[in-house]
Amino acid sequence: MRVIYFLIIFVISLQSYSIYAQQNHPLAKLWGINDTEVPEWLDAEKYFIMIDEILRPILAEDNFISSFGGTYIDIFKNWLVVNTVDYSKVEELLALPQVSPYSESLHFKNVTNSMEQLKYYFGEITLIANTYEVRGALIYINMEFNNIVIYFFVTHIDHTEFINAVEPFNPKIIYVSTRSVSQTIIRPRRRDVNSRDLEVKVFGGDGVYNKAAGHCYDIESYGENYFYYSPWNSNSNALLPIGGVEYESKADGFYDFVVIRVENVDLNPQFIIRNDDDQYRELIIINNGLISSHYAHICKSGVITHLTCGYVLGFDGAFYGIEENDDVFELIITDLYGFLGDAGGSVFSFASLNTVNVHGIVVTVGPGICAVQSLFTIFNVLHDKLRLFYDIMVYVEGS
């Protein structure tokens, strides 16, 4: 009998260890599941995103926009949440032939603010923010809170007058906390750049370095804004040159990205995201496009904190930087974990275990929050300013 008990305990221990040991994929870590469950959960999320894409334009129609307050995915409860102000409109919505097949996948949640109200409040609050010259803040619509969120990521600026001015709209105020839980940063073996290599493959998530380091560049102090290639865990004394700036968005509006000329013929940019810390070390880019569902997963690859995943908190967010010329708009707001130096890192979502759809680049990070400039916005700006990428399509040969 003692032998049987021992075997039972041993088997249970092995099962527990197996589950823990197989939680290596970034989505397994995010969702708290076994690696083997990731494809099933990913398919479930895609299903809810598909329903959301059908539902969102309907809820934006005049007949529904004042009765519902937007949607978001709850992957853990296995449904798409529909924020509902007027329950008398639910039956009418479910009677629509586009919606009725998915009624069992919808959860109608009682809320106060309609989508119409939220958009109005957001517009008014950002106007007031401009009037009071707010610094060090992110403003966006959060569907789960059914409210406007104002996130202050610095604590030394007095925002009392601004907060008093927006009080009639009752926004949710969040102050940065340095005690926010961070994810473990894995540091694999050093990966130096060897200038004697004939060709160096450059992946999304690798770093670039310039003498000024950062978003603000003083051309009088440093001369030409020239960039160097800096992969994960590289030795900063052995960096390869990339090239100068082809286009800088700050000169033309409230966006934050730079197009760099690749002048070094030994550098070979790849349609691949770096993920050296996982078994899927190279994540193949198969598509680019919009991400539009709240609380869908989203990930980034950055040179400092490497690959981390989180959730989409909001869209069309407004970032008010510390300096007057640092304001950035049309941002995707996420709770991705990142750190200073991850700005410019590739942002994407998984299509399968080792393929991804790219969505943009990291603009700014703080405890518990990360703002992203969407690829859609970047391409639109480049269309207008440089007449580039009118017919661009990202694909994998044979797909």
Query: HEC string of 267-301?
Result: EEEEEEEECCCCCCCEEEEEEECCCCCCCCEEEEE
Q: Is residue 120, in this structure, part of any structural domain at all?
A: no
Among residues 103, 110, 112, 107, the alpha carbon closest in space to that of 75 is found at 107
Q: Is residue 362, in this structure, part of any structural domain at all?
A: no
Domain range for 96:
37-110
Boundary residue ending a domain (246, 270, 294): 270
pLDDT for 252: 64
Virtual CA dihedral for 26, 31, 33, 38, nearest 10 degrees?
-60
Domain count along the chain: 2
Boundary residue ending a domain (228, 248, 270): 270
Q: Is residue 164, in this structure, part of any structural domain at all?
A: no
Q: Is residue 162, in this structure, part of any structural domain at all?
A: no
- The tens place of each residue's pLDDT in the chain, 399 residues long, gives 444 443 333 333 334 444 444 778 999 999 999 999 999 999 999 999 999 999 999 999 999 999 999 999 999 999 999 999 999 999 999 999 999 999 999 999 999 999 999 999 999 999 999 999 999 999 999 999 999 999 998 888 899 999 999 999 999 999 887 444 444 333 333 334 444 445 677 777 777 777 665 444 444 444 567 777 777 776 655 577 777 777 676 666 677 767 777 777 777 777 788 887 778 888 898 987 789 999 999 999 988 888 999 999 999 999 998 877 778 899 999 999 988 788 888 999 999 999 999 999 998 887 788 999 988 888 887 777 666 654 443 333 332
Per-residue buried b or exposed e for 26-39, using 16+ beta carbons within 10 Å of the residue's own CB:
bbbbbbebbbebbe
Q: Is residue 204, in this structure, part of any structural domain at all?
A: yes
Q: Is residue 13, in this structure, part of any structural domain at all?
A: no
Boundary residue ending a domain (74, 93, 110): 110
Q: For the whole model, what pTM was predicted?
A: 0.81
Give the pLDDT confidence of 91-115 residue by residue, as tens digits. Answer: 999 999 999 999 999 999 999 999 9
Strand bridging mode 79-84 / 68-74: antiparallel
pLDDT for 22: 77
Q: Is residue 286, in this structure, part of any structural domain at all?
A: no
First-to-last CA distance in the chain?
57
Angle at 175 between CA 172 and CA 181, to 5 degrees: 110
Element housing 350 (H / E): strand 346-350
Angstrom distance (rounded) from CA 55 to CA 49: 10
Q: Would you say 205 and 307 are in contact if contact means Cβ atoms under 8 Å apart?
A: yes
Q: Is residue 225, in this structure, part of any structural domain at all?
A: yes
